[in-house]
Amino acid sequence: MVMVMMVCLTAANVAWGQPKPGCSGSCGNLTNIPYPFGTSLECSFDETFLISCNDTTYQNGGHHKQAYFPNSFIPITNISLRDHELRVSGPIARDCYYADDEEYDRHANVVMQTNSKFPVSSKRNVLVAIGCEAIGAIESPINYDALAGCLSLCSQVEEVKNGTCSGAGCCQISIADGVIDYSLMAENLFNHSDFNPCDYSFVVEVGAYSFSSLDLVDLQKRESFPVVLDWAVGNYQSCEQVNNSSTACQSTHSECYNSTNGPGYRCKCLEGFQGNPYLVDGCQDINECEIWNLCVSQATCHNNVGGVECRCPKGHIGDGLISGKGCILKDDKYLRFAIPMGFCLCLLAVLIGGLWIYWGLKRRRFMKLKEKFFRQNGGLLLQQQLSDHKGSIEMIKIFTAEELKRATKNYDESMVLGQGSFGTVYKGTLLDNKVVAIKKSKVCDKNQIETFINEMIVLSRVNHRNVVKLLGCCLETEVPLLVYEFITNGTLYSHIHDRTQDSCSALSWKMRLKIATEIAGALAYLHSETCIPIIHRDVKTANILLDEDYIAKMSDFGTSRLIPVDETQLTTLVRGTFGYLDPEYSQSSQLTEKSDVYSFGVVLVELLTAKQVISFARPERERNLAMYFVSQMNADRLLEILDDQVPLNEEIIEQLREVADLASKCLRMRGEERPAMKDVTAELERIINTN
């Protein structure tokens, strides 16, 4: 029966992890002796933790079991495993003189001797001295720095105050660290007065003593005061020195920490566990559900190893903890997610919508830009003109920017046919495989749009076999694009001057005469047979193209000017090519058809001589071909400057002379003295036909 009870008790104690299994955990009033303490060596960690449990016989004959430090008379009254504290009954030093009896009761020096390794807790105790003109002092045998004392003064009882220990009748002072055992002293500086026969000094747990004026007379019946000692395990070793827990902290879920007062180490259970960390399996999981009320009322508590789980009821979400989020209805939670989610979705929708609108706007802006260019480039005017002249100019086409972009492979460099101050000419292949030349002007004179369109209208109506045909235009780009028929055989210029190939490729005189006649015819047509006269302004061999059959085509009307019907002269900025430029026009800026005649004269000279129009390689006198030619003609030295590629038989020489005469007429300084293109053409045709 007793055994069963013992087992039950032990089991219960094991759960709290107090004494070593199989050991008694109590001694008299001390009912809680935790391991590493024990009343026998087997039950204690080592002899430091040995407690002797002796029978104490009281003066009145009764006896009681009392726990002591071995070899000491200091009783142990309480042991705390958690705080690593030990409460003992500390002695009181007293110094009394009873004047009436002239009797002394002196225990002015007492020693607190535990013979242990446990220091007095400096935080939990104070030294108190009581009396008038009384000194209390403490001294440590191992720590001389701990020597300290206080003086209490008073001349009458009225000066002292109950519950206050600050110098009047009672003084107190804190205790240094590392005081293991000590001696106390109490002494009066003068003779004791009647109301204060005794002086006392003692160490006492903070809060365990409250001063009363009655204590000046007699410290009542007090034999002792509680003193708190700190304890730690390890023979002055730290956690590191014992490898944290291998020897002392036996339990799983335990950890080692250094002592806070003096050497040694301590053990404690990890959070969520409780029990005795010094015992194997001493640290047991705390069933938090049974001990504390951690969960909110709806939640059910589930104890986990080292923790707790509060499960919320169905339809709820949260940690269920009172100190946490508790349990929240799922709907709330859903809403809390749904609202930001909804917001996000809305934002996304707005973003996508915005993007869509942006692209739409951008596209519209692009369309608008195209429209603007179209308008700016005179598209509307052209459209109107086109509808006005239905039938007559049906041949001109308005191309889209996209169409021409595709035709030129996005204006690739490989498609460039030529480049000049006017802009760039690209070769393009339309969707119907028709090869065209696309001219992209560099700049667009916005003020001249109407004129430009008119010119285009006129040019579109020019339907002459010796004029490069304008097929259409594109007005959707910033500068208008002009689309011409593509002439395959290069310029007359290159045929005359680029004699890289053998001389056979040089144009025969007959061919040259034919080309001259064709060009003269084209210019005559432009000057007089179109409804509004057109002055080309830039007649030169580089602007005369040859097709595969060597049919000449006048091209590049980029600088061309229409001459309004009521005006025969037009003041313009001088344009043209140096060397071909009519000197009269360049001086007066008065543009007439005769300027073209002059330029054509230069072309004739070029055909005759195959010489560059301007050459700085020639002597200064000969630098300008036209001038040189005229001077040679005047000096009757034509033959000297003729092209040596032209064989000089009698028939040809005659033609050469006639053409040279014609050329010099065209090159006359005064425009009005020059023949009209019509006449030039007629003369050339006559020359061809007479032979």
Strands 423-429 and 435-441: antiparallel
Q: Which tokens belong to 563? A: 């001459």
Whole-number Å distance between alpha carbons of 216 and 6: 49
235 binds ligand NAG (CB under 6 A): no
Query: What CA–CA distances, in Å, run from 433 to 394, 396, 436, 482?
Result: 21, 18, 9, 18
Out of 10, 183, 213, 252, the only residue in the binding site for ligand NAG (CB under 6 A) is 213
Whole-number Å distance between alpha carbons of 256 and 269: 9
109 binds ligand NAG (CB under 6 A): no
Whole-number Å distance between alpha carbons of 678 and 625: 24
Whole-number Å distance between alpha carbons of 303 and 595: 111
CB of 288 to ligand NAG, least distance (A): 22
CB of 48 to ligand NAG, least distance (A): 17
Out of 115, 164, 243, 569, the only residue in the binding site for ligand NAG (CB under 6 A) is 243
Looking at residues 524 to 543 of the shown chain, list those that interact with ligand NAG (rule: CB under 6 A).
Answer: none
CB of 217 to ligand NAG, least distance (A): 10
Altogether, the residues listed in the chain come to a count of: 691
CB of 69 to ligand NAG, least distance (A): 8
How many chain residues bind ligand NAG (CB under 6 A)? 26
As separate numbers, helices (DSSP H) first and strands (DSSP E) second, the chain gives 14, 34
Out of 244, 383, 441, 530, the only residue in the binding site for ligand NAG (CB under 6 A) is 244
Question: Where do the H-state alpha helices sit in 431-534?
Answer: 449-461, 492-497, 509-524
52 binds ligand NAG (CB under 6 A): yes
CB of 240 to ligand NAG, least distance (A): 5
Out of 190, 571, 617, 670, the only residue in the binding site for ligand NAG (CB under 6 A) is 190
Question: Which of 242/646 has CB closer to ligand NAG?
Answer: 242
Out of 14, 150, 160, 180, the only residue in the binding site for ligand NAG (CB under 6 A) is 160
Out of 239, 436, 516, 613, the only residue in the binding site for ligand NAG (CB under 6 A) is 239
Whole-number Å distance between alpha carbons of 417 and 437: 8
Assign 295 to helix, strand or coil.
Answer: strand
Whole-number Å distance between alpha carbons of 653 and 509: 10
Q: Is 556 a catalytic residue?
A: no
Question: Which of 250/655 has CB closer to ligand NAG?
Answer: 250
Q: Which tokens belong to 367? A: 């369309």
77 binds ligand NAG (CB under 6 A): yes
CB of 94 to ligand NAG, least distance (A): 18
CB of 290 to ligand NAG, least distance (A): 21
- E strand segments, 33-123: 52-57, 63-68, 76-80, 85-90, 92-98, 103-107, 109-112
CB of 52 to ligand NAG, least distance (A): 5
Question: Which of 64/446 has CB closer to ligand NAG?
Answer: 64
Pick the piece of the chain touching ligand NAG (CB under 6 A) from 73-81, 371-379, 436-444, 577-585. 73-81
80 binds ligand NAG (CB under 6 A): yes
Query: What CA–CA distances, in Å, run from 679 to 339, 538, 676, 682?
Result: 92, 20, 5, 5
447 binds ligand NAG (CB under 6 A): no
Whole-number Å distance between alpha carbons of 591 and 589: 6
CB atoms within 10 A of CB 16: 16
Whole-number Å distance between alpha carbons of 53 and 368: 108
162 binds ligand NAG (CB under 6 A): yes
Pick the piece of the chain touching ligand NAG (CB under 6 A) from 72-80, 400-408, 514-522, 659-667. 72-80
451 binds ligand NAG (CB under 6 A): no
Q: Which of 181, 230, 319, 538 is catalytic?
A: 538
Query: What CA–CA distances, in Å, run from 114 to 183, 200, 333, 616?
Result: 12, 21, 63, 127
Q: Please check if 370 is assigned to a binding site.
A: no
66 binds ligand NAG (CB under 6 A): yes
73 binds ligand NAG (CB under 6 A): yes
Q: Would you say 173 and 126 are in contact if contact means Cβ atoms under 8 Å apart?
A: yes
236 binds ligand NAG (CB under 6 A): no
258 binds ligand NAG (CB under 6 A): yes
**x/- letters, 640..679, toward ligand NAG (CB under 6 A):** ----------------------------------------
Whole-number Å distance between alpha carbons of 322 and 313: 15
Whole-number Å distance between alpha carbons of 378 and 149: 114
Question: Which of 156/488 has CB closer to ligand NAG?
Answer: 156
Question: Where do the H-state alpha helices sit in 377-408?
Answer: 379-388, 401-407
Question: Which of 212/615 has CB closer to ligand NAG?
Answer: 212
Out of 105, 194, 240, 450, the only residue in the binding site for ligand NAG (CB under 6 A) is 240
For the four alpha carbons of 242, 246, 247 and 252, in that order, the dihedral sign comes to positive
Applying CB under 6 A, the residues found at the interface with ligand NAG are: 29, 52, 54, 64, 66, 68, 73, 77-78, 80, 160, 162, 190-191, 212-214, 238-240, 242-244, 246-247, 258
Question: What is the set of active-site residues?
Answer: 538
The binding site for ATP comprises 440
The binding site comprises 440
